[in-house]
Amino acid sequence: MGKNSPWWLALIQGLVALGFGLFMLLDPTAASAVIGVLAAIYLLVAGTVHTIRGLARRRVVKRMNVMLIRGIIGLVVGGIILVLALFNIGTLAFGYTILAIGLIIFGAVGLFSDLFQRKGKPLAWGPLLVNLALLVWGVLVFFGRSQNLNLAVISGWILLIIGVVLVWTLLGRKDEPTESDVAP
């Protein structure tokens, strides 16, 4: 999260990731039945956070930005997966393929933004780790089903890592110095 972003956006996204991650690790059997829905809800929450931040930034910059595009990707992919699950449309393999592609794109766009749109700012390790985790999660969902990986446990660990990084980044965030903090 950027220093100008509302702190509660990172908190919501981090707590959702922590909660879903803990659920998947503590009860992988139940989680395996709803892993796609939980991932879709996470993408909806993350997409909403990025859309809000992107719209706020757009008011200042007056043009489309990567954060807004990323937010829309999260909202669309999360929405599609929820519709597929709620209305029992398509196969489970099709739903996992959509989820994997969505996670890969969402993570890749975030990595692009973290690495190439810093505008002279130092590299922020928290967002970089979160986006890398999302990209890896997408690749594991894409290839893991054919390898008989336990996606609930893997997804639980990835979401737990994402949640911890987001909350840790929030707790370690320092506000910009004010005029009273600067020596005369």
Q: Express each pLDDT in 64-104 by its tens digit.
A: 688 889 999 999 999 999 999 899 998 888 998 999 999 99
Say whether pLDDT at 176 is over 50: no
Q: What percent of the chain has pLDDT over 90?
A: 45
Amino acid 5: pLDDT: 59
Q: Express each pLDDT in 117-150 by its tens digit.
A: 877 888 888 889 999 999 999 999 998 877 888 8
Q: Quick one: angle between helices 125-144 and 92-116, nearest 10? A: 150
pTM above 0.75, yes or no: yes
111 with 128: CB under 8 angstroms?
Answer: yes
Torsion region of 154: left, alpha or beta (phi above 0 gives left; psi -120 to 50 gives alpha): alpha
d(CA 119, CA 128): 15
d(CA 164, CA 166): 6
Amino acid 1: pLDDT: 47
d(CA 36, CA 78): 9
